[in-house]
Structure 1
């Protein structure tokens, strides 16, 4: 240590003041690190917990159309009403169909009657054949007897009587042939016996068809579901095959979530799904992946024409999306009162495996979205 002349220690030289940290650089680094972390999380989450807001509820929608035509006499349901399998939806005037059943029954009775007459004809033909065969046998014996007498004593019997006996035999043989042909014709006309008879079978089919038409005059729900689009009343004419209302089956409701191609790599049927319905704010419903769509519609050029090329002028092209079908189930006590309808929108996230961090973050995001659905 340096000393001054008077013996006192010399003062140390002053240190340069420390430079103050630039807050702009500090926050720039923090924001940059956060951005990199968010980017890494997004790239990872987009693969293992893909999410989409392009999701809607779908169901089997069946147009309800009668199979017979007629005037509507009764409507048993209201618009947007829950119905059970077999419940009557509406009825068509069945008077002419009841008359059709009566006519078909009369035709069946006539077929049975005709079958009885044909059976009697067969019996008569059989009796005629037996009589002809007996007459033939008598004629044959007479001719044989006269021929033997003529051979033993030519003078005992004239040739004329022998010729007459032989002619009678030929006539009897012809009668047998005719009786056999008549019997075959009668049997052919009779056909099979009992209900196996073709005419009876045709009449039975006609009666069943008429009874079926009478039954079809009452239109019933095919299964449990909801009827909507009910715009008919008594007096309306309903044509066969013309839809009168729409039936929505409630036993098979699913969500179609449209995910980007690069989201599909790890998605498999059975993966767990989180669902937030716009109509059920504050709740996250669980579901499972049913299947991943194999393709989407593209415009193929007609035969004989060249394809049209759409030039993409943007820096980034739009991502192609594919449908992912998701099954979900509400609590039993909510199935009939739930506001979820066909076409309801939803936000969907797929948990593609055991990824604790990304799965936890995805659950937080879905919980936040479920709260935000109160506002929009």
Structure 2
């Protein structure tokens, strides 16, 4: 065989090999999809104080495990102690004011009783005067004076009754349902709640991360000061849309983690993500923006799936958030699963190199 014939043979073999690899790639992308775009995510809880004040004592350190309810740091309680005492004084004052109003109600009731007695007396004098007037025993002027005194006594009773009604309205309901008492009790409860907020606690189990807080810093209500990485973990993978054509919930998968090269773990497809940020429209009052691309073949859209490790879920719970992985989805056929297992096993070996 001449050198030219050998060269032509090598070219043909290379072209055949390239064609076979290309065909395998096209078929594998649909029936044996694999992606290196997979990560372990942990929920991160941002810890923000609910009140403002000077930080007096930071009790935790970076990467320290904490339990839900553990105190993370203290805020100066001085101003909130004063607010609590002021609210307690306001409640005591409301109780004292209610006692004054009760005394005023009783005094008005006594005055009404006296005024009604006076009215009864004036009524009797009026009846007697009218009889004496008919007998010409008193003058008309005297009778008018008696009648005027009777009307004055009626008006006096009505005035006291109006004052009593006003006093009862000002007093309000008795007991804890009194409006002034409820206002004062509400202010006291708010002051006590704010005082309890001077102890900033963990809201969930996890690990303190990126702690930069020091004693003496000023905490602003609602502004995050540290983060807690929860133990709960989620394994997600991003695939091209066409790669998920034959996949469904419960499909088998193989996973390789960058931090554990050579180890392959079984997993199942748990859920499909409802959408991605590119598919979200916001009602911002602007006209819609069309997608533009100068490429003849645009980039494929990726969709996210969530996976669960089979009998190894605790493994990813102990991994840091953001740990990278490679995910191989497996078809239902036995031969397809064999090829997929071989493919991910080869990738696991490559992780020893890169």
Please indicate the TM-score interval, normalised by the length of the shorter structure: 0.7 to 0.9
- Calculate the TM-score normalised by the size of structure 2: 0.87
Of residues 195, 207, 224, the one that matches 2:188 is 207
Return the match for 1:78 from 40, 61, 71: 61
Aligned CA distance change for structure 1 residues 24 and 307 (closer, same or farther; 3 Å): closer
CA drift at 1:31: 7.0
Counterpart in 2 of 1:367? Answer: 345
Shift of 1:228: 0.6
Please say if 1:138 is aligned against 2:121: yes
Q: Aligned equivalents of 1:280 and 1:292: distance in 2?
A: 26
Following the alignment from structure 1 to structure 2, what is the Cα–Cα distance between the partners of residues 181 and 134?
A: 17
CA positional deviation for 1:186: 0.4
Aligned to 1:174, which of 144, 155, 176?
A: 155
The 3 A distance-change label for structure 1 pair 223 and 114 is same
Whose helix fraction is larger, Structure 1's or Structure 2's? 2
Q: Compared with structure 1, are the counterparts of its residues 330 and 222 closer, same or farther at alpha carbon in structure 2 (3 Å cutoff)?
A: farther
2: CA distance, partners of 1:261 / 1:296: 15
* SS of aligned partner of 1:203: helix
Quick one: which of 105, 113, 116 aligns to 1:122? 105
Measure the CA separation in 2 of the matches of 1:356 and 1:158.
129
Residue 355 (str. 1) matches residue 333 (str. 2): yes
Residue 291 (1) aligns with residue 269 (2): no
The aligned residue for residue 7 of structure 1 is none
**Aligned partners of 1:286, 1:144: CA distance in 2, in Å?**
109
| Residue segments in structure 1 that go unaligned for 5+ positions in a row | 1-21
* 8 Å Cα contact 2:329-2:340 kept in structure 1: no
The DSSP-based 3-state class of the residue aligned with 2:256 is strand
How far apart are the structure 1 equivalents of 2:236 and 2:344?
Answer: 18
- Determine the structure 2 residue equivalent to 1:270: 250
1:210 shift after superposition: 0.8
- Measure the CA separation in 2 of the matches of 1:286 and 1:184: 80
Spell out, residue by residue over 1:133-188, the C-alpha distance to the aligned partner (whole angstroms, 9 max, x if none): 2211221122112213333x223x33333222211101101101101110111012
1:220 aligns with 2:201: yes
State the superposition RMSD in angstroms: 3.0
Query: Structure 1 pair 335/24, CA: closer, same or farther in 2 (3 Å)?
Result: closer
Aligned counterparts of 2:154 and 2:250: Cα–Cα separation in 1:
87
C-alpha contact (below 8 Å) 1:293/1:325 kept by paired residues: no
Q: SS in structure 1 opposite 2:278?
A: coil
Report the counterpart of residue 100 of structure 1 in structure 2.
Answer: 83
Show the counterpart of 1:342.
321
Structure 2 stretches lacking a partner, 5+ long = none
Contact 1:61 1:247 in 2 (8 A): yes
Distance of 1:260 and 1:187 partners within structure 2: 75
Q: What's the offset of the Cα at 1:209?
A: 0.9
Q: Deviations over 1:203-236 (max 9, x none)?
A: 1111111111111111111111121111122222
The Cα shift of 1:302 comes to 8.2
- Which of these residues, 206, 222, 228, is aligned with residue 247 of structure 1? 228
